[in-house]
Chains A and B, each alone.
Chain A
Amino acid sequence: MSDYTVKDKVAVAGIAETTYYKRGGAPISEMQLTLQAIIAAAEDAGLDPRQIDGFASYSNDRNDPPRLAAALGCDDLSFSNMFWGGGGGGGSGAVANASAALVAGYSKYVVVYRGLAQGQFGRFGQGTQAKTVSGAGAYTAPYGLMSPAQSFAMRVQRFMYEHNGGHEAQKAISLTSYAHAQRNPRAVMHGSPLSPEAYDGARWIVEPFRLFDCCMENDGAAAVIVTTAERARDLKQKPAYVIAAAQGSDYRQAAPAHNAPDYATSNFKTVAKRLWGMAGIEPKDVDVCQSYENFTGGVMMSLVEHGFCSPDEVDDFMTVENFRFDGGKLPLNTSGGNLAECYMHGLELITEAVRQVRGTSTAQVPNVDISMVCSGPMVQPVSDLILRA
């Protein structure tokens, strides 16, 4: 039933980000960063920010829509939405929710945004300082399993055991992000290249992750304006049409204390099926992919579960050569992503996917028609987005 889809009915019409800072480096508040990004995204689209009438975010963003709409002086607030779940699992999902609101006629211009100043609030990479812990955390934290890296290393280790590989794939994913960041002046790691020797020589964080397998912690904000395809055509930029957006979580993936029945997974198996079904395309049709790197092992499993290669050939397929923007089979994370551009909780992957459609990336893949984003491996729920020129 083609009526029940967002395919081709909405488009990303504006994108923006603030300056990206190292954690604690933002000279202004998280709220101000967020407002700056939203105003700049509206300007990029050629829209008065007061015309924004919908707000969608994820991962419990602290800057809530009523407050943002009041600060911006928006004429109306007709859609106010939070994608449940942690990490970057909701980046594409927030665009999906915005798309649904637009197709349903709730709103005309929805901004998807994420503001983060980890220096002003808590850090993701640190364990709880509480004296006691109850519920699911009581089965992990007392054993020193507290951080996202520690939580996800356990899944990746199992994947590497089941498929007898993955070290080389994870290394290639890290080197690719750093190489692409060297072309991107926005990137926090611009000017800090990473050699294979430095990757191998870096300290362990938690086996099997070394330092450069892990995302950064940053301050900044990003925003994208989503609207109907018709309205997008009347705005300033070349529209990036949404041809598929999907979200979800496989059977009991959120079972407590690492009890998901299918454990060695990025949690994209059911979501990928829905995504390809809606888009009506196959993995081989993708020109460029931005895949959320909380940790390189998550990218490795994401690419497998989207059908780019089999789990037993990750080290053969996932190479720096295959991930290059210029001539690779699957150009990957062309801005530097969470590892080397900025940990903007994956919204920087969506702005980069739009740049690839527009032809304005700093690592531009030639003649991009299909531009894909995978948001948040190993969390629950996760989400995906496919854009078309």
Chain B
Amino acid sequence: MTSNTLTTEKTSYLPEGLPMPAASPDGLDQRFWDATKQHELMVQRCASCQTFQFGPEWLCHKCHSFDLEWHKVSGRGRIYSWERVWHPVHPALKGACPYLVVLVELPDAGNVRMVGNLLGDPMQDIVIGSEVQVEFEDHPEAGIALVQWRVAG
């Protein structure tokens, strides 16, 4: 397995109590969430024209093929945008601010973007364009793993 796991004492970046992802009842993103549990990052790709899309859809927006598959990516990304959150909008976040949310683009998946937290010091300087690497945050009780990011060393 090429991906890292969290090495800090804290088991999760944000406190427990936030809504946890549940695979969509229609099955659209079951494969994505199954893969994160195995610490693999998957992006949907059209089998006909190889266009990537995220979040997944039932249809390729480029060629209208319904033949869509999941493609494992390296987990390397670039910070496309970011924000530092100071005001908690959920009871679980009281006392957890500030925290960092980043929007990461994946160059080896057609530059699709994913949201996650930027691990480490919430007051760290952030440079758009910086290279980041995925880390998976396990939530065994919820049967899920979140997709997190850390600036690449």
Report A's interface with B, CB cutoff 8 A.
125-147, 149-150, 153-155, 157-158, 161, 203-208, 252, 255-259, 263
Contacts and interface: CB of A to CB of B under 8 A. Distances in A.
Contacts of A157: 81-83
Nearest to B33: A138
Contacts of A155: 81
B89 A263 contact: no
A141 B89 contact: no
Instruction: Give the interface size bracket for B toward A.
Output: 35 or more
B103 interface: yes
Contacts, number: 137
Contact of A204 (B82, B87, B142): B87
Given A203-B86, A259-B113, A263-B80, A144 B14 contact: yes
Contacts of B14: 142-144
A143 B101 contact: yes
A143 B81 contact: no
A137 B29 CA distance: 12
Interface of B: 14, 18-25, 28-29, 33, 53-55, 57, 61, 80-87, 89-91, 93, 96, 98-99, 101, 103, 112-117, 128, 142, 146
B29 A204 contact: no
Contacts of B96: 144
A161 B81 contact: yes
Given A143-B115, A145-B115, A147-B89, 8 more contacts: A133-B22, A134-B23, A142-B14, A143-B117, A154-B83, A256-B55, A259-B53, A263-B80
B88 to A, nearest CB: 8
Among all A-B residue pairs, the 7 with the closest Cβ atoms: A138-B21, A256-B55, A132-B22, A204-B86, A127-B90, A158-B81, A133-B19
13 contacts: A129-B91, A135-B29, A136-B55, A141-B19, A143-B117, A150-B85, A154-B81, A157-B82, A206-B85, A207-B86, A256-B54, A257-B114, A263-B80
Contact of A257 (B18, B84, B86, B113): B113
A125 B90 CA distance: 10
A77 to B, nearest CB: 36
A160 B81 CA distance: 10
B115 A161 contact: no
A157 B25 CA distance: 34
A144 to B, nearest CB: 5
A141 B28 CA distance: 18
Interface centre among A147, A205, A207 (most CB of B within 10 A): A207
Contacts of A149: 87, 89
Contacts of B128: 158, 161
A237 B114 CA distance: 52
A154 B86 contact: no
A149 B88 CA distance: 11
A252 B22 contact: no
Contacts of A252: 61
Nearest to A153: B83
Nearest to A214: B87
A144 B90 contact: yes
Nearest to A259: B113
Contact of A130 (B19, B33, B82, B112): B19
A141 B54 CA distance: 16
Interface centre among B25, B81, B101 (most CB of A within 10 A): B81
Nearest to B90: A127
B26 to A, nearest CB: 9
Contacts of A142: 14, 18-21, 146
B152 to A, nearest CB: 19
B110 to A, nearest CB: 10
A157 B127 CA distance: 12
Interface centre among B83, B85, B101, B117 (most CB of A within 10 A): B83
Nearest to A157: B81
A149 B22 CA distance: 24
Given A131-B20, A132-B19, A206-B85, A145 B55 contact: no
A132 B20 contact: yes
A150 B101 contact: yes
A109 B29 CA distance: 47
Contact of B19 (A131, A205, A257): A131
B18 A144 contact: yes
Nearest to A128: B19
Contacts of A125: 89
Contacts of A147: 89
Nearest to A208: B83
Nearest to B12: A142
Contacts of A137: 19
Given A125-B89, A204-B86, A257-B114, A134 B25 contact: yes
